[in-house]
Amino acid sequence: MKTKIEAPIEKNEQRQFEITDLSYDGLGVTKIDHYPIFVSDALPGEIVEAVVTKVGQKYGFAKTKKILKKSADRVTVENRQYTQTGIAPLQHLAYPAQLQFKQKQVENVFQKAQLAINVLPTLGMSDPTHYRNKAQIPVRNLNGQATVGFFRKRSHQLVPMTDFFIQDPEIDKAIAALQSIIRRLAIEPYDEIRHTGVLRNIMVRRGYYSHELMLVLVTRSTKLASAKTLIAMIQSEIPEVTSVIQNINPSKGNAILGKTQKVLWGKPVLRDELLGLQFDISPLSFYQVNPQQTQVLYQKAIDVADLQGTETVIDAYSGIGTIGLSMAKHVKAVKGIEVVEDAVKDARHNAKLNGITNAEFTLGKAETVMLTWQAEGLQADVVVVDPPRKGLAPEFIEAVGKVAPEKVVYISCNPATLARDLTLFGAQGYTAKETQPVDMFPMTTHVESVTLLTK
Ligand SMILES: C[S@@+](CC[C@H](N)C(=O)[O-])C[C@H]1O[C@@H](n2cnc3c(N)ncnc32)[C@H](O)[C@@H]1O
């Protein structure tokens, strides 16, 4: 029979806690005996008065009511909406301490996985705000008006907002202007309980260098009355706009974008620049959200690969081809693999756009294509991977082991799956000496990094 562990605290109890650490998701950590309690809005070194909100078998949660001793790293937060929505969960932590926090996150997971890899100090931004080139904003009815904002943490309750703090201010301006247009045209916002209404979400992307602006209106069905007037008003009131796209999402779920779309006005893609190359980006294609730091990240990947001009490089999880095409001029050939069809089309087009003739892109799952290429006897010198948060498939790592490139460059947005995959690469004879975190998402707890693995 299992013995039930008694938690040393009770729900609704209010008491003082001394904070000793910060969890991976930015909560203060305190321990009573060995029982951890995660405390909102609390930093290491602080003493807070907090009320216990949840008591589980292994850990509990508490909410800060009063800070009794303040950390020197605390920054005063004035905007309640940022806290309510959680769009900037580290905003109360000074930026240098955020960078240290990210380095430590990677160190912690490596230590747990028994990986002896040195983690370098995080490369940060000189201005860690207003960096995002993309916004995805819900539109809902609030007090009888179509309203833009962001959902309150762990809910679908809209907090009205038009200043999003970490987004390009020109995107914020476009969203505010669009809200005004939608209200004047009385376009009905989506009601997710009844699954009625017209406009669900607005997605905006803006080229950091090009200043092109793409507006994607996500609707529940193909119906969008007054589209002509809407476009005329957008053109006159948001002068930077270069594309207006209607994306249709008829699902009842939480997915922001649907699978089909049509161009209502302007270009079907947004053009931007990275490391001196031009990129056209379709609405459904992945594109890094922090253009300044993306260049730092890619340059780091190019530098650690130490390319000599003779290599065949595989760019797995290649998106619209940004990494492979940035490497193309330093190598003999690039072979990209990507699972989203539009992104592969973009990548092929982007190669042409930049006059690059030594890069080709294959549609498919990286794990499947890599196995096929390995069976066909493909030779490669460098494999670059940049997977989504869930990391690599074990069969992909095995196939890479068999292809046996001299180097693997692993770009990761999730230290936990990075550590898991580095261990699997270890079984294939690959080791890493150091990892370079790059802050792609200031004010949030997300951690990006580059690691070179060699045989
Ligand atoms: C983090 S993004 C990186 C894209 C690109 N390297 C960049 O920096 O813009 C990951 C990409 O992997 C793609 N992807 C996800 N699962 C995949 C799989 N199993 N095989 C190939 N590509 C995949 C996604 O569509 C996305 O474009």
Summarize pLDDT for 258-289 with one digit per residue, the tens.
999 999 999 999 999 999 999 999 999 999 99
Q: Domain locations in the chain?
A: 14-74, 112-124+290-454, 134-274
Over residues 204-217, the mean pLDDT reads 98
Residue 287 CA: nearest ligand 1 atom is: 9
Query: Is it the case that residue 112 has pLDDT exceeding 70?
Result: yes
**CATH number for the segment(s) 112-124+290-454:** 3.40.50.150
Total count of residues recorded for the chain: 455
Average pLDDT of the chain is 95
Q: How far apart are CA 30 and CA 17, in angstroms?
A: 7
355 CB burial (10 A radius; 0-12, 13-18, 19+): exposed
Cα torsion 353, 208, 80, 184: sign:
negative
Q: How far apart are CA 347 and CA 341, in angstroms?
A: 10
Over residues 429-434, the mean pLDDT reads 98
Judge if 14-74 and 134-274 fold alike in CATH terms. Answer: yes
Structure tokens at 413: 């947005």
**More confident position, 154 or 398:** 398
Distance 45 CA to ligand 1 centre (A): 39
Query: Is it the case that residue 234 has pLDDT exceeding 60?
Result: yes
Residue among 133, 259, 272, 286 whose CB has most ligand 1 atoms within 8 A, to mutate: 286
Query: Is it the case that residue 78 has pLDDT exceeding 80?
Result: no
Query: Is it the case that residue 31 has pLDDT exceeding 80?
Result: yes
Q: How far apart are CA 256 and CA 249, in angstroms?
A: 8
Q: What fold characterizes domain 14-74?
A: OB fold (Dihydrolipoamide Acetyltransferase, E2P) (2.40.50)
pLDDT grade, residue 121 (50/70/90)?
Answer: very high
Question: Which pLDDT value is given to residue 4?
Answer: 59
DSSP state of 156: -
Q: pTM (2 decimals)?
A: 0.93
> What is the complex's ipTM, to 2 decimals?
0.99
pLDDT grade, residue 64 (50/70/90)?
Answer: very high
**What count of other Cβ atoms lies within 10 Å of the Cβ of residue 69?**
11
Query: Is it the case that residue 351 has pLDDT exceeding 90?
Result: yes
Over residues 380-397, the mean pLDDT reads 97
Residue 337 CA: nearest ligand 1 atom is: 21
- Active-site residue 443, yes or no? no
Structure tokens at 44: 């290491």
Does residue 247 contact residue 195 with C-beta atoms inside 8 Å? no
**What count of other Cβ atoms lies within 10 Å of the Cβ of residue 394?**
13
Question: Which pLDDT value is given to residue 253?
Answer: 87
**CATH number for the segment(s) 134-274:** 2.40.50.1070
Question: Which pLDDT value is given to residue 98?
Answer: 97
Over residues 444-448, the mean pLDDT reads 96
Chain centroid offset of residue 288 CA: 7
Distance 165 CA to ligand 1 centre (A): 27
Over residues 5-20, the mean pLDDT reads 92
Question: Which pLDDT value is given to residue 5?
Answer: 63
